[in-house]
Structure 1
Amino acid sequence: MKNILYFASLGPLALLPIVAGTRTKSPRASLKQCVQLEVPVPVIADNHHYEMPRIDSTIDAVHWTLNTTAWSTPNATERITCTVSVKQTFRIRAQLCIPTKGGPRADILQIATQGRGFDRRYWDVEIRPEEYSYLDAAISQGYSVLTYDRIGTGESELPDAYDIGQIPVQAEILAGLTTLARSGKLVASSQILPATTGIPFPSPFHFQPSKIIHVGHSLGSFVTFFFLSSHGALSDGTLLTGFLLNKQLGTIVVSHFDHEFAAQHDPSRFAAYPSGYIVLTGQSDIQKLFFRKDGFEPALLEYAEKIKQPEAVGEYPSSDSAAFVPASEFKGPVLFMAGEYDYVLCGGDCRGQYLEEASRGLFPASPKVEAYLQPGTGHALTLARNATGGFGVMLGWLGDRGL
């Protein structure tokens, strides 16, 4: 079938609940069993040192934003002063969930990577999870799911924000987690933490998936792509949400949003975050970045503020200077998925902006490279009113492609 931008007509997917406001039920905690892990992930990667102002206060954070986006500032590649060779083991907090009743898809593992501003709770929203938890939606269809906090977020390690917290390291952490999962050694190599949900995990617990699907959102999709470009043979399929190659990509930059130095912004939450970590200032910026008016419930905006996470400034130039190397070893299907009115991706309107040929060129060995716009939705798909409709599209797409 020709690679097309799904929107008004979806063929078989048209039967799925994709209309804004449509909701379907997903499982409760009793239908899944989860284990909390602290995973040591060894990484070898080449980062870069970029010339940029340091951030040790909110005044510095505003200056960094203005300096980075000024027309006269050299681009990220021109600001590289040297290569930073990283050889380090990172402590990664993760959660592995499997369906309690097993099933034909229980040995298909989805590894989900969230974007900027969130930890792994992006995938498992705590407000009405039957409507907003992608993890529960995937479990209800029989999949197993691994979510984790990227370095610099949640309960994972907080590295140097300038030279270590960059895209190459994030991509190699995803590769490390994937390799452990494929080998069946993920749980055995980790520290098992006390908190579990559902039926207690067998001990010792062995889980070795037959297939692995990589799911990303926003920066997490960017990290996922760079993982696929280097380690494509480790993946059987990918859902790149909050990510769309389009004519407006790059027009909305960090200066469109207000950030503060994380430790100064909210010491009760972020005192442990060192120099170079910034965080969105408040709900107005969160709304601008992640939400579409009439497409979200106010309680979800308040929730996003409650769980928001700082960002390492090294992620910005390492994203801007990264070369899009085709994922030539990846042979699985690809779905790009964005909100119809995604501000950060498409300047507020993604309709008619998709670059199909360029997207296909990134995955030359893939049998399917397709794209889909979720109606009436902004950047944060799991927090939108029609989140479950989007989940239905994602999971239905996987099922139709044998995953």
Structure 2
Amino acid sequence: MASLLVALVLAAASIKKGKASPTSDLRSCIQLEVPVSVDTTTTKWLQPRVDSNIDAVDWVTYMTTWTSPADRMLGDITVKQTFKINGQLCVPPKGAKSDILQLATHGVGFDKRYWDAEIKRKDYSYVEAVLAEGYSIFTYDRLGTGASDKPDAYDIVQTNIQVEILRQLTSLARSGKLVSSSKKLGGTSNNTLRNYNPSKIVHVGHSLGSVITLGMLAAYGAESDGAIATGFLYTDKLANVNVGTWGFEFARENDPLRFRDRGSGYIVQATKSNTQVSFLKKGSFEPALLDYAWKIRQPNTVSEFLSIQTALGQAAPNFKAPLQFVIGEFDYGFCAGDCKGTYDLTVIKGLFPGVPEADLDIYLQPGTGHGLTLSTNATAGYKVTFDFLDRTGL
């Protein structure tokens, strides 16, 4: 406990010291539509359909009622499809570590803009910070969000499908074919981007994106050179994660114009206050960032929540690279509002037996909620991650 308090004090001090803010001069990015082929199985789940706000409340009640069936799996579904995934690849023109690609997967409630705040970028954008540090980065809209495909919310858009998509994106990037195999939608077009072929790939996730990342490490651990799981930690409060706290409504009814392309089973947070409860802690965010979070909010599918169990808590014996967990001190979702003293390092080591002890790190971002990139001390947290990567040879 003493070492944790020291870490919190030092991290708080680093907020004042900080690091020179990156600028848009570092940007050399291309927007892509990446065809990703998946051949796997998903699960047929026992759950109510959601075609209205009334249905959404009924689904939440079903999911949280203690007498609802514990085992909701009805069988397997074969999925063999190609999906269009919208992404952005950025490579700094003179980046000292540009051969290392960070592949970032966002979580519930957002699309890839979570990583790249469009206001006060030097204070909040993880993309800007990564480029300033010399790394390259690929961000993308998960299946069902942003400008990516939005298929069936029950049988297709599930967590294990997202794991397979992340694995395929990893393979495309490592082969140097990420750009050449994709449709170019805009941005910079030069040989550096067109022929980009990273020497190493570090997987970065937030919230559900971290669950997806850890699911990939469990299934394909040898295909990652390092991982940063943000907005998630294995704690003794995980059982408290409850869809009842999110304030979900049926996306198309909540905003018929904006979410007109979301069908049955797509749900979204109903109010700005719901977003604050889930992502932000009073005293550690600017109101403008809450407005921004509300502006860019995205629906999720009902089956993504049910299928989290297919990726969560799986051991990753073949992953033998550096691993860091970063979570807000007052994360409401995964720590029931206070992460101090909620995790057992022995349990975490048991899930990742191949990670050297010196390469496993857990960091609590002081005073912060779940939305790390939207909080006022965001760049201080980024520095902790960059220092960890540098210390472990990445």
Q: TM above 0.5, one fold?
A: yes
Report the equivalent of 1:359.
348
Who is 1:94 aligned against? 87
Answer whether contact 1:6 1:370 (CA < 8 A) is retained.
Answer: no
Q: 1:383 to 1:356 in 2, by over 3 A?
A: same
CA RMSD, aligned part only? Answer: 1.9
1:160-309 aligned at under 5 Å gives the runs 160-194=152-186, 196=187, 200-202=189-191, 205-309=194-298
Inter-CA distance 112–373: structure 2 relative to 1 (3 Å threshold): same
1:84 is aligned to 2:82:
no
Equivalent residue runs for 1:4-403 within 5 Å: 7-10=4-7, 14=10, 19=14, 23-75=18-70, 78-103=71-96, 105-194=97-186, 196=187, 200-202=189-191, 205-320=194-309, 322=311, 324-367=313-356, 368-403=359-394
Aligned-partner Cα distance in 1 for 2:371–2:312:
26
Bigger relative CO (Cα 8 Å, ≥ 6 apart)? 1
How many Å apart are 1:124 and its aligned residue? 0.4
Using the TM superposition, give the Cα deviation of residue 21 of structure 1 relative to its aligned residue in structure 2, in angstroms. 6.5
1:337–1:204 Cα change, 3 Å: closer
8 Å Cα contact 1:211-1:236 kept in structure 2: yes
Shift of 1:17: 6.7
1: CA distance between counterparts of 2:81 and 2:169?
15
Q: Deviations over 1:210-254 (max 9, x none)?
A: 010000000000000011111111111100001111111121300
Q: Distance in 2 between matches of 1:205 and 1:283?
A: 40
Deviation at 1:320, TM superposition (A): 3.4
Answer yes or no: is the 8 Å Cα contact 2:151–2:157 preserved in 1. yes
CA distance in 2, matches of 1:291, 1:222: 20
Q: Is the 8 A contact 1:259 1:278 kept in 2?
A: yes
Instruction: Check 1:204–1:126 CA distance in 2 against 1; reply closer, same or farther (3 A cut).
Output: closer
For the 8 Å contact 1:6–1:373, the answer to whether it is kept is: no
Cα–Cα, structure 1 residues 8 and 361, in superposed 2: closer, same or farther, change >3 Å? same
Displacement of 1:19: 4.8
Closer, same or farther: CA 180–18 of 1 in aligned 2, 3 Å: farther
Determine helix, strand or coil for the equivalent of 2:381: helix
TM-score (norm 2): 0.96
Partner deviation per Cα, 1:47-93 (whole Å, 9 max, x = no partner): 10001000011110011000111010012xx1111101111111000
Name the CA shift for 1:242/1:264 in 2 (closer, same or farther; >3 Å): same
Q: Tell me: CA distance 1:22–1:37, structure 2 relative to 1, closer, same or farther (3 Å).
A: same
Aligned CA distance change for structure 1 residues 82 and 192 (closer, same or farther; 3 Å) = same
Higher mean alpha-carbon deviation, 393-402 vs 374-383, is at 393-402
Structure 2 gap segments, 5+ residues each:
none
Identify unmatched segments of 5+ residues in structure 1: none
| CA shift in 2, pair 1:202/1:17, >3 Å | farther
The structural deviation recorded for 1:261 is 0.5
Mapped contact 2:40–2:79 kept (Cα < 8 A): yes
Q: Secondary structure of 1:193's partner?
A: strand
User: In the alignment, residue 131 of structure 1 is paired with which amino acid?
Assistant: D
CA contact (8 A) 1:240 1:335 kept: yes
Aligned residue for 1:9, secondary structure, equals: helix
Q: What is the deviation of 1:321?
A: 5.1
Q: Tell me if the contact between 1:252 and 1:345 (Cα under 8 Å) persists in the aligned partners.
A: yes
